[in-house]
């Protein structure tokens, strides 16, 4: 378990999914992966398929069209899997609160491990969120239980 957990902590592969947001968080997630901020120094690589990924990075408010798809993508990921909710509208529907098509937050649809606040969050905040998640994975290896408290970055 120790070795597996170490490997998992050193190479969290991300899959990025937009649930119909405004794209601002998406370009900030990409900017975090670009040379200046370089999230890849933590071993994080953006993958195309949820089956290859450990961490699901979700941006945007969850709307009714997307709900079934996000659940399917979450189920396609291999366990143990982690979900990072990026941006206010993913955390709590943000500025779209009250719109007829939008759910109150990602955690009303799938379990969420880390919340990153901001509209959009700066790349530094995204890196902080991912680092907090990695800390959580480290703790997870030391305790037998696979669930641990949610983190907020």
Partner 1 sequence: MSDGFQIIVGPQHPALKEPESFTFTVDGENVVKAEVRIGYAHKGIEKLAETKTYIQNIPLVERICGICNVAHTLCYCQNIEYLYGKEIPRRAEYLRVIIEELNRIHSHLLWVGVAGHEVGFDTLFMLVWRDREVVMDLIEAMTGNRVSTALMTVGGVRRDVTPELEQKLRKGMDILEERTKYYRKVVLDERSLLQRLIGVGRLTSAEVVEHSAVGPTARASGIKSDVRSDDPYAAHDEVPFNVISYDSCDLFGRTVVRVDETFEAINQVRYCLDHMPSGPIRMRLPNTPPRGEAVSRVEAPRGEDIHYVRSNGTDKPERYKIRAPTLGNLSALVEMLTSKGDYQVRIADIPVILAGIDPCMCCMDRSVRFVEPAKDREWMLDWEQLKQYSRRN
The pair of three-digit structure tokens given for residue 16, joined into one six-digit string = 């990025």
Is 95 a binding residue for partner 1 by CB under 8 A? The answer is yes
Options 42, 43, 45, 47; binder of partner 1; rule CB under 8 A? 47
Is 29 a binding residue for partner 1 by CB under 8 A? The answer is yes
- Identify the H or E element spanning 5: helix 2-10
Q: At what angle do helices 123-142 and 24-33 cross, to 10 degrees?
A: 70
Is 103 a binding residue for partner 1 by CB under 8 A? The answer is no
Instruction: Report residue 152: phi and psi, to 5°.
Output: -125, 125
- Would you say 29 or 140 has its CB closer to partner 1? 29
Of 2, 32, 14, 10, whose CA–CA distance to 118 is shortest? 32
Is 119 a binding residue for partner 1 by CB under 8 A? The answer is yes
Question: 3-state DSSP call for residue 6?
Answer: helix
Q: How far apart are the first and last CA of the chain?
A: 27
Is 112 a binding residue for partner 1 by CB under 8 A? The answer is no
Options 92, 96, 106, 127; binder of partner 1; rule CB under 8 A? 96
Contact residues for partner 1, defined by CB under 8 A: 15-31, 34-36, 47-50, 60-61, 63, 65-66, 69, 73, 89, 94-96, 98-102, 119-120, 122
């Amino acid at each position: 378990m120790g070795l597996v957990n170490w490997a998992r902590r050193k190479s969290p592969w991300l899959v990025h999914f937009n649930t119909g947001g405004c794209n601002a968080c998406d370009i900030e997630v990409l900017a975090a992966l670009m040379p200046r901020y370089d999230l890849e120094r933590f071993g994080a690589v953006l993958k195309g398929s949820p089956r290859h990924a450990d961490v699901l990075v979700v941006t945007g408010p969850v709307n009714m069209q997307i709900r079934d798809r996000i659940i399917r993508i979450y189920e396609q990921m291999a366990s143990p899997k982690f979900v990072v909710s990026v941006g206010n509208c993913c955390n709590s529907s943000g500025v779209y609160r009250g719109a007829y098509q939008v759910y109150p937050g990602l955690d009303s649809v799938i379990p969420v491990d880390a919340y990153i606040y901001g509209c959009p969050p700066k790349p530094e905040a995204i890196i902080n969120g991912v680092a907090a998640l990695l800390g959580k994975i480290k703790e997870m290896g030391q305790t037998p239980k696979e669930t641990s408290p949610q983190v907020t970055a």
